[in-house]
Amino acid sequence: MTDLRGGIDLGGTKIQTVVVDSDGSLRGEARQPTPTSGGPPDVARAMEDALREAASAAGAKPEELTGVGVGSPGDADGKTGVVGGARNLPGWEGSFPLAETLAKALGTEVRIGNDVQVAVEGEYALGAGRGHDSLLGVWWGTGVGGGIVLGGKPWLGRGAAGEIGHTVVKRNGARCPCGRRGCLEAYAGRAAMEARAHRERQEGVETEIFKIMEKRGRDRLTSSVWEHALREGDALTESLLRRAVRYLGTGIASACNLLDVEAIVLGGGLGVRFGDRFMDHLTTEMHKHLFVDDNPPSMQVAELGDLGGAIGASLLIT
């Protein structure tokens, strides 16, 4: 049996799993929607099912894998394998021993990391961040997450670094899903954008985006719904996306003024979908706030795409 590793990206809307070999090459993958009700044990079961499917696509059983890495939202403790306060997941306000539960179910070692940080490290090792000594990953999706590599090493701070989504872009500004005001995520996170779209519709703004959502059988404005609405020329969709990008530019520029990284990698569900289309707008908005603007960082869209989070998570297993 060759050395196969599993990776699971636990997201707010879907659970993506992969099985990769020792070079990081893909051998199998599977995905499931994230349960929208229940609690952590239900989410863990869906993760187990999806990983089993990916292993079977790779011709392996889960217990034959060297191990499985998990990129998790919330407060993911790599040492204890416990995940707490994952507010994008159903019933997950408290703590849950995710690594232990999955290790028992799958019969192999399971390691946990922060979802965005592992995805950024995946891009650093195998994707858009290759060859750079320092980078800031900005993961634009349900929320706005971040990950930092400095001097070739992940910078985790004391465990809570990289939360660019909760840097303040407007004092006393919009209410953020985290409960504070004026965070970048309150303007650019998909959840906050969806709430804003609902409000604007209630105030009488014409939009097709909710009809497109229903037509596509969704109950949330997923990134694919945003993409279809944009393609159909929906004005509210375009204006909310451009507004999000304006704030992303502000937040990223402030981070660059502080860290002076070589590269920005834009990932996440919205980042991967809209990164190329809005990169010029993002760069223009960012430049307005760069203190030293004659040597800007290189701007990249994440290359590992939808599988990047799960592939990055697999790197937790060495």
Burial class from Cβ neighbours inside 10 Å (0-12, 13-18, 19+) for residue 200 reads middle
168 near Zn ion (CB under 5 A) = no
3-state helix, strand, coil in the chain (%, to 5): 40, 20, 35
CB 239 to Zn ion: min, Å: 22
All residues at 6 or more sequence positions from 14 whose CB lies less than 8 Å from its CB, including other chains: 31, 32, 33, 34
Q: How far apart are CA 302 and CA 72, in angstroms?
A: 19
Q: How far apart are CA 93 and CA 266, in angstroms?
A: 28
CB 143 to Zn ion: min, Å: 8
Using CB under 5 A, count the residues that bind Zn ion.
Answer: 5
178 near Zn ion (CB under 5 A) = yes
Q: Which of 176, 191, 209, 266 binds Zn ion (CB under 5 A)?
A: 176
166 near Zn ion (CB under 5 A) = yes
Q: Which stretch binds Zn ion (CB under 5 A): 49-57, 114-122, 160-168, 245-253?
A: 160-168
Q: Which residue number, 119 or 191, has a Cβ lying nearer to Zn ion?
A: 191
Q: Which stretch binds Zn ion (CB under 5 A): 105-113, 179-187, 191-199, 253-261?
A: 179-187
Question: Tokens 């500004």 — which residue?
Answer: 173
All residues at 6 or more sequence positions from 290 whose CB lies less than 8 Å from its CB, including other chains: 253, 256, 257, 296
CB 136 to Zn ion: min, Å: 18
161 near Zn ion (CB under 5 A) = no
Phi-psi region of 310 (alpha: psi -120 to 50; beta: other; left: phi over 0): alpha
All residues at 6 or more sequence positions from 167 whose CB lies less than 8 Å from its CB, including other chains: 183, 184, 251, 254, 255
116 near Zn ion (CB under 5 A) = no
304 near Zn ion (CB under 5 A) = no
Q: Which of 183, 230, 248, 266 binds Zn ion (CB under 5 A)?
A: 183
CB 169 to Zn ion: min, Å: 10
CB 94 to Zn ion: min, Å: 20
CB 75 to Zn ion: min, Å: 14
Task: Provide the terminal-to-terminal Cα distance of the chain, rounded to the nearest Å.
Answer: 16
169 near Zn ion (CB under 5 A) = no
Residues lying near Zn ion in the complex (CB under 5 A) are found at 166, 176, 178, 180, 183
